[in-house]
Amino acid sequence: MQAQAGSSADGPPPRPLDFARHSLYNYYKDTKRQSDNATLGVRVTLAIEVDLRSHVPIYIQIVERVGHLVATGVLRPGDQLPTVRQLATDLRVNFNTVARAYRLLDEAGVISTQQGRGTYVLEGLSIGQAEELRQAALEGLVRSFLVGAARMAFRPDDVESEARIQIERWRQAGDPPAEPE
C-alpha cells in the first residue's frame, strides 16, 4: 500500500511554523528507498530557514541549507525533496527563487530533478562539489551586491574602494563587518 502525498494516518502534513524571521518546513518523506524499507510516511522535519530581512539572497540561503543538510547526513542519498512549488508555497517565496536554488544544487551534483518524478538527493558531496557549491553561492552574493550598488547609482570605482576598505577591516579584526541594522 502506498501513502498518498498529503495524507497519513495522523492527518495531513503540518504547515510551516511562522516565525518573525524564518519558516521551518515540515513534510513527510516518501521515497523509493523508504518504500523498499517499508518506512512510508515517516515524519521528518526539514529545517529550511529563510531570513527575509537578510542581505543574503533567499535562493543562496536555500542552497546553503540544503547543502548543509546533505553534508551533515540529515538528508541522505535517495531522499526526496519537496517540489519547487510546494517549497515556495510553504516558505512563502517566489517559485522562481526556489527553482533557481534547485538548479544550482542540480548543477553542483547535490540533487537530481527528474521531470514528473521529483527531486532527489544524490550521493554525498565530494570536496570538488562542495567547493563548486560554495563558489556558486559566492558569485550570487557578489552579483546581488553589485546589482544593489548599481541601482543606487554607485560607480564601479567607488564600490571597489569601499569593498577594499571593508575587506581590510575584516582582515585586521578577524571577523567580518557586522550587518547594518
Q: DSSP for 68-122? A: HHHHTTSS-TTPEEPPHHHHHHHHT--HHHHHHHHHHHHHTTSEEEETTTEEEE-
pTM: predicted TM-score of the whole model, two decimal places: 0.54
Q: Residue 74: its pLDDT value, please?
A: 83
% pLDDT > 90, the chain: 25
Residue (of 43, 87, 26, 79) closest to 61 by Cα position: 87
Residue 171 pLDDT class (50, 70, 90 cuts):
very high
Residue (of 78, 90, 86, 88) closest to 114 by Cα position: 78
Q: What is the mean pLDDT of the chain?
A: 74
Q: What is the pLDDT of residues 38-61, one digit of tens each?
A: 334 333 446 787 888 888 899 999
User: Any idea where the domains of the chain sit in the sequence?
Assistant: 17-121, 127-173
CA distance 104 to 119: 13
Pick the CATH number of 17-121 from 3.40.50.10860, 1.10.3860.10, 1.10.10.2840, 1.10.10.10: 1.10.10.10
Is 80 exceeded by the pLDDT of residue 132? no
CA distance 163 to 168: 9
% pLDDT > 70, the chain: 70
Is 60 exceeded by the pLDDT of residue 91? yes
Looking at per-residue pLDDT, the higher value among 81 and 15 belongs to: 81
Q: Residue 126: its pLDDT value, please?
A: 67
Helix %, strand %, coil % of the chain (to 5) = 45, 15, 40
Q: Residue 42: its pLDDT value, please?
A: 36
